[in-house]
Amino acid sequence: MDLLFFLVICLGASYSWNDTEIGTVFRNFVAKIRYIRKPMLCHECSSFWISLFVSIFFNPLNNVTPIVSNIILAFAGFFVNLYFVRNKLIPHNYD
């Protein structure tokens, strides 16, 4: 159940970062920073980094080494977001 909760949090955070008007202010700020511009403006890349950031604070895999579990959860959040966006289960703003 914690893993499902984690994936919903990551999906919601990725959606709000990429596809809402509120996220536009933050995206415009990040677009000015040279080295994190591309990883945070790409929909799939930002879902990975957001999932990694969320896994640092909320890690449902308690019995695995923290660094390994953070990477596993980052990829899990990435693939869930990729599935929802590619199958058009959530609306998106890019072409």
pLDDT digits (tens, 9 = 90+) for 46-77: 889 888 889 888 888 877 788 888 888 899 98
Better-scored residue on pLDDT, 95 or 7: 7
Which amino acid would we find at residue 90? I
Determine the pLDDT at residue 94: 55
Domain that holds residue 35: 2-86
> Which value, to the nearest 10 degrees, does the dihedral of the CA atoms of residues 16, 19, 24, 30 take?
80
Domain annotation covers residue 92: no
At residue 29's C-alpha, the angle toward residues 36 and 67, to 5°, is 40
Q: Total structural domains in the chain?
A: 1
Alpha-carbon span 10 to 3, nearest angstrom: 11
Domain annotation covers residue 91: no
Q: What is the pTM of this model?
A: 0.80
Alpha-carbon span 21 to 16, nearest angstrom: 8
Is the pLDDT confidence value at 88 over 70?
yes
Domain annotation covers residue 46: yes
What SS3 class is residue 92? coil
Domain annotation covers residue 58: yes
**Assigned token pair, 26:** 């933050």
36: number of CA atoms within 13 Å, CB side?
Answer: 10
